[in-house]
A = this chain, B = another copy of it.
Amino acid sequence: MTRVTAERAAELFAQSKRWGRWGDADERGALNLLTPERVTRAIRLVRRGEVVSCGRELPVRPAVDNPTPAQHHMLIAGDVLGSAGALQSSADFVGVAFHGMVVSHIDALCHVFVDGEMYNGYPASDVTSVGATRNSIAAAFDGIVGRGVLLDIPRLRGVEWLEPGEAIAPDELDAASAAQDVDVEPGDILLVSTGRDARRAAQGRWDPVRVGLAGLDPECIAWLAEHDPSVLGSDGVSDPLPANAHAWPAPIHQCLLVGMGVHLLDNLQLGRVAAACAAEERWEFLFVVAPLQIGGGTGSPVNPVAVL
């Protein structure tokens, strides 16, 4: 499968790359755009005080769309109480290999390399077998707070969902902005809905690796570089799947994470926030992501929250 030639992908990478923009020692990338001014402006967007999660429930059962189930075990259960005198309690363990096509997660800037380098030119070897020493998720330990903007592509197309493998063209991003009367501005947390959860609710699970996921055509990379979001998220993985069968299998991941220093949010659940936005006819909101503080981590499972 090839949506873009390797040559064109390399060209897009070269054009969008902006290492050094925030200094040679920077590891935060476009999170630098989330200045206090932009945070306070995002805060002022809240009208109704409605809080909506954009995360999926952690998937613990094996399934065709869940090759690496999250682990959830009870350690103490309530039907097996200890003797009197001790605290009666329950407890559990949770664990997850969060990357992939299932779990709502954030990608740290160390998650992807191009030609053995990651964002800002650090070598891939800085991500050792005991953790990342550069570009880890520590860049986001303080939490990510900003203006969320949702572009609802199924709404633009008048469908309930995009089919697996479909790609969104750059002019559709413009058209959605226009139709929704919302501009994507520098520093925004841009969320692109493909209706994945609606399709799953209607038609059941499918294998995202083989069957595919809808996403952004690689030609959107220039659009993204121009609009300059702080974070990009999707209910898929931003890149359409199946992946390209060459050295640029996932150009959005490769150009955004490595070239532009933009953290990605994968596998969000955007149906509820899309409905809330449509009800208000307003597609901007306060958006908060609070990654777990995983030292040396390549990302984190997250439960991003929109406040409308």
**Across the interface, do A298 and B91 meet the contact criterion of CB distance under 8 Å?**
yes
**Across the interface, do B295 and A57 meet the contact criterion of CB distance under 8 Å?**
yes
How far, in angstroms, from A127 to B81 measured CA to CA in the complex? 11
How far, in angstroms, from A128 to B80 measured CA to CA in the complex? 8
How far, in angstroms, from A81 to B62 measured CA to CA in the complex? 10
| A181 CB-CB contact with B under 8 Å | no
How far, in angstroms, from A55 to B118 measured CA to CA in the complex? 27
* B-side contacts of A25, CB under 8 Å: none
**Across the interface, do A99 and B91 meet the contact criterion of CB distance under 8 Å?**
yes
* B-side contacts of A286, CB under 8 Å: 43
**Interface window among A44-52, A151-159, A194-202, A215-223:** A44-52
How far, in angstroms, from A144 to B145 measured CA to CA in the complex? 15
**Interface window among A12-20, A167-175, A225-233, A244-252:** A244-252
**Across the interface, do B87 and A249 meet the contact criterion of CB distance under 8 Å?**
yes
| A76 CB-CB contact with B under 8 Å | yes
| A110 CB-CB contact with B under 8 Å | yes
A: number of interface residues (CB 8 Å): 111
Measured CB to CB, the nearest residue on chain B to A272 is B142
Measured CB to CB, the nearest residue on chain B to A116 is B81
**Across the interface, do B53 and A143 meet the contact criterion of CB distance under 8 Å?**
yes
In the complex, which of the residues B47, B58, B93 contacts A293, with contact meaning CB atoms closer than 8 Å? B58
* B-side contacts of A301, CB under 8 Å: 94, 292
| A302 CB-CB contact with B under 8 Å | yes
> Contacts A142-B305, A295-B57, A307-B43 given: A87-B250 contact, CB under 8 Å?
yes
| A98 CB-CB contact with B under 8 Å | yes
CB neighbors of B among A60-74 (8 A): 60-64, 67-69, 71-74
In the complex, which of the residues B81, B145, B299 contacts A113, with contact meaning CB atoms closer than 8 Å? B81
* B-side contacts of A300, CB under 8 Å: 94
**Across the interface, do A290 and B293 meet the contact criterion of CB distance under 8 Å?**
no
Contact with B along A79-115 (1 / 0, CB 8 A): 1111111111111111111110000100000111111
How far, in angstroms, from A114 to B58 measured CA to CA in the complex? 29
Name 17 extra pairs, CB < 8 A, besides A39-B49, A40-B46, A79-B124: A37-B49, A39-B307, A43-B286, A53-B293, A69-B74, A77-B129, A78-B123, A81-B116, A85-B247, A88-B112, A90-B110, A90-B113, A90-B298, A91-B99, A91-B298, A92-B131, A291-B303
30 inter-chain pairs at a CB distance below 8 angstroms, sorted by A residue, are A39-B307, A40-B48, A43-B286, A51-B142, A52-B142, A55-B292, A56-B293, A57-B294, A58-B294, A62-B76, A63-B80, A72-B294, A77-B128, A78-B118, A79-B129, A80-B129, A83-B210, A85-B245, A85-B247, A87-B243, A87-B254, A90-B124, A92-B131, A94-B301, A95-B95, A104-B293, A145-B288, A288-B288, A290-B302, A290-B303
